[in-house]
Structure 1
């Protein structure tokens, strides 16, 4: 299977309720379609330093920030292909670089401080990131259920709805069950617009009708705040 390894796009986030989600789905019906995976469960393991340097920096809303995670779209066994993702944000633009490797190989390397056996440009970037932060280790397991919609016009415009966003600090395995502490209130959904260009007029009108406004929100950052007793989002 061929995977997209690099991304450059804007990611706009909105916190919506059930009625607003229903309204948005109705507005999207003529322009977008649910992808072939329907509703999927995404599992992530985030890596950070002993002082949570990456999480704390992200919450400061800097011009530039970055994070490292391992992601799986199904319960992963040792041979399951998983994604090692280096995600950066600079001046509102998100850059994502990733590799695909077997779960056992990835976790063995990252948990033991060894470089991944990949000497591509992306592999070198991951290696530099690892060496720069020095004390990276698994800190949080974060999972959620996602519905992803793609544009019927063939553009890269996408909309995702994430629900049941859960985190935990133990049992950090991509093959584990789906459980943890919620970072959303009852009935909330995190909607994300992902695009390398502008927002279509019909979508702008739908956002206005539903009084939806972009927010700053980080799943990992919010989990960190809850772990340390902070607020959820701003």
Structure 2
């Protein structure tokens, strides 16, 4: 598959959220200018992307990311579908500098990827690996004390421009996540992040987008959003923990014995 062979990306990404009716209208328009990804063509359906995101114990990378800095980076382990321990996957660094996304990744056997991320020691070089990216990941693992923090999967439909192969548009739905069983081979189950009817569209281009695409976005009242899958899940988790703490405080406040009331002497003795 052509898209899986690319190991270095530099592009701008714009994101849009839409419901299923809008998704169907947009798909109809895209069919005039773009073609489905090879995998979508062959299987006549979506393909599933599964990720493990790495972060520090105190979630330093995602906390920095959602503060909207000019520069941010993340490390993730990615597979297309649910892999076996002997399957090839991608360990990748994703950086964003002033809106420009740079993604660098290398193929690894899943067992190799786990070991590399856990120890920071590069695996013995093999022909399917990207040596430069291995060095960059090794450096990142020295800078941060990273550990697996989140499993996140989604189903994707992707398009490439017919006359502009640098233009790519993807649609993700059924975004689900979990913070337990943080291994790719354990299945793609998880808790839904968005409602069933919602699609995330990402427009990915090295340069400006074509006029027809700008017109389509305007006609369908689609406005750019800063939506991040990992960031949204993290904020949802934090909010959930706050609510649980509030519930606990309320429970303890009303279930524990209340202190004795102290009335003025004249009130007590007048009973």
State whether TM-score is above 0.5.
Answer: yes
> Hey, what does 1:50 align to over in structure 2?
57
1:194-205 alignment, distance < 5 Å: 194-205=204-215
Which deviates more, 207-216 or 168-177?
A: 168-177
Structure having the larger proportion of residues in helix: 2
**Deviations 1:36-83, CA, capped at 9 Å, x for gaps:** 111101000000000000110010000000000000002111210100
Q: What TM-score does the superposition give when structure 2 sets the normalisation length?
A: 0.81
The 2-side partners of 1:29 and 1:42 are apart by 23
**Contact map agreement 1:116 1:127 (CA 8 A) in 2:** no
1:127-206 alignment, distance < 5 Å: 127-133=138-144, 135-206=145-216
- Find 1:122's aligned residue among 116, 133, 156: 133
RMSD: 1.5
2:86 aligned with 1:76, yes or no?
A: no
CA deviation after TM superposition for structure 1 residue 117, in Å: 3.7
Unmatched runs of 5 consecutive residues or more in structure 2 = 41-45, 241-271
Question: Matched residue of 2:180: which SS?
Answer: coil
The 2-side partners of 1:226 and 1:116 are apart by 36
CA deviation after TM superposition for structure 1 residue 218, in Å: 1.1
Question: Matched residue of 1:156: which SS?
Answer: coil
CA deviation after TM superposition for structure 1 residue 116, in Å: 4.0
Unmatched runs of 5 consecutive residues or more in structure 1 = none
> Hey, what does 2:38 align to over in structure 1?
36
> Hey, what does 2:21 align to over in structure 1?
19
1:198-217 alignment, distance < 5 Å: 198-217=208-227
Which deviates more, 114-123 or 8-17?
A: 114-123
> Hey, what does 1:102 align to over in structure 2?
109
The 2-side partners of 1:53 and 1:207 are apart by 35
Question: Matched residue of 2:208: which SS?
Answer: coil
Question: Matched residue of 1:175: which SS?
Answer: helix
CA deviation after TM superposition for structure 1 residue 112, in Å: 3.4
Question: Matched residue of 2:136: which SS?
Answer: helix
Q: Relative contact order (alpha carbons < 8 A, sep ≥ 6): 1 or 2 greater?
A: 1
Question: Matched residue of 2:105: which SS?
Answer: strand
Aligned length: 229
- Find 2:72's aligned residue among 44, 65, 73: 65
Which structure has the bigger radius of gyration?
2
Question: Matched residue of 1:229: which SS?
Answer: helix
CA deviation after TM superposition for structure 1 residue 110, in Å: 1.2
